[in-house]
Amino acid sequence: MGAQLIDGKAIAAEKRKAMMSRIESMKQQGFVPGLAVILVGENPASMSYVKGKIRDCKEVGIYSELIRFPDTVTEERLLAEIAELNENKEIHGILVQLPLPNQISEQKVIQAIRPEKDVDGFHPINVGRLVTKQEGFVSCTPAGIIEMLKAIDVPVAGKHVVVVGRSNIVGKPASLLFLNLDATVTICHSKTKPLSQYTQQADILIAAAGREGLIHAEDIKPGAIVIDVGMNRNAAGKLVGDVSFEEVKEKAGFITPVPGGVGPMTRVMLLENTLIAADRQNK
Ligand code: GUN
């Protein structure tokens, strides 16, 4: 294997350990950081993500509330719940697990959350703050990617970062974060042709398109840092990324595995954002 593996699981575990003393000192100051997670319906993937988030909170000592609704819930009921959580002093962060059923507007729900409690960083105010490089909340996956690169001491300024994917949750905020760190950023998507012409130029390649086998060895520059955000089920039901790991690892400088790469970093950044929210609300 040519590439060094970036062990997101280990980096996230270190971060959780470091958080515990911060949380202890918050408790000594008289407040406990609190996160509310809203889950609508019984989508198995969403249930599993939410369970993980609640478990992570318990592990580090963050107070958490799981609020569940059936998938027939009205938008009005959901908005009323958010309005209540916005006023709840014990809750510093609010997360509504996506996707939501069709009768509910995701944008309306996201915009109902007070930006100061929007630990997902999805509210347009927080997106605007990212665009203008102001203090706010940044979506957990892109924030986790930056933390990962910091952990392996990779400077970003002046690097060519190629982001494949333009989602509101990953591709767009990741591109802005790298731009704010003085990288040169190229954003590619499903209509980019030919994709490999761009990916081959990347010092840092972010694969976030959600397509198994999108990136092969011939698509990367030798020694590139390859960050795989993909979470796909292959024909055998195994969790795989967007990158053909076995071949790309022979050519890359660094590579993230799936699972055990970006996923654990996303989870830990939600805890981090909750602590930041609690700190800001208790100033
Ligand atoms: N569904 C898939 N990813 C996410 C996420 O990061 N946050 C929320 N709220 N829902 C999701």
Report ipTM (2 d.p.).
0.93
**Is residue 120 within 6 Å of ligand 1 at its C-beta?**
yes
Residue at 131: amino acid letter: V
pLDDT at 47: 98
Which amino acid type is present at position 2? Answer: G
CA distance 53 to 64: 9
Structure confidence at residue 172 (pLDDT): 98
Mean pLDDT of the chain: 98
pLDDT digits (tens, 9 = 90+) for 237-249: 999 999 999 999 9
pLDDT number for residue 68: 98
Query: Does ligand 1 have an atom closer than 6 angstroms to the CB of 226?
Result: no
Q: How many angstroms separate the CA atoms of 254 and 274, rounded?
A: 30
Of the candidates 283, 271, 264, which has an alpha carbon nearest to the alpha carbon of residue 22? 271
Could you say which of 7, 15, 53, 203 is catalytic? 53
pLDDT above 90 (res 217):
yes
Residue 17 has pLDDT above 70, yes or no: yes
Q: 67 CB less than 6 Å from ligand 1?
A: no
Closest-CA residue, ligand 1 atom 11, reads 98
Asked if 221 and 200 touch (Cβ cutoff 8 Å), the reply is yes
The DSSP letter of residue 220 is: S
- Residue 273 to residue 115: CA distance in whole angstroms: 12
**Cα–Cα distance for residue pair 111/123, rounded to 1 Å:** 6
Phi, psi of 242 (to 5 degrees): -90, -10
97 in catalytic set: yes
Q: Write the pLDDT tens digit of every residue in 23-73.
A: 999 999 999 999 999 999 999 999 999 999 999 999 999 999 999 999 999
Which atom of ligand 1 is nearest the CA belonging to 140?
Answer: 6
Instruction: Give me the amino acid identity at 16.
Output: R
Q: Is 118 left (phi over 0), alpha (psi -120 to 50) or beta?
A: beta
Q: How confident is the model at residue 260 (pLDDT cuts 50, 70, 90)?
A: very high
Domains present along the chain, CATH in parentheses: 30-115 (3.40.50.10860), 140-262 (3.40.50.720)
Helix axes 44-60, 8-28, angle to 10 degrees: 50
Average pLDDT over residues 8-19: 98
Average pLDDT over residues 77-84: 98
Of residues 231, 207, 229, the one with CA closest to residue 219: 207
Examine the pLDDT at 156 and tell me if it is beyond 70: yes
With cut-offs at 50, 70 and 90, classify the pLDDT of residue 261. very high
- 167 in a known ligand binding site: yes
What pLDDT does 283 receive? Answer: 84
CB neighbour list of residue 200: distance below 8 Å, 6 or more residues apart? 219, 220, 221
CA distances from 210 to 68, 113, 171, 228 (A): 27, 27, 11, 10
Q: For residues 249 and 5, what is the distance between their CA atoms, to the nearest angstrom?
A: 8
Token pair of 197, please?
A: 């012409």
Q: Is the CB of 274 under 6 A from ligand 1?
A: no
State the Cα–Cα distance between residues 230 and 214, nearest whole angstrom. 10
pLDDT at 1 over 90: no
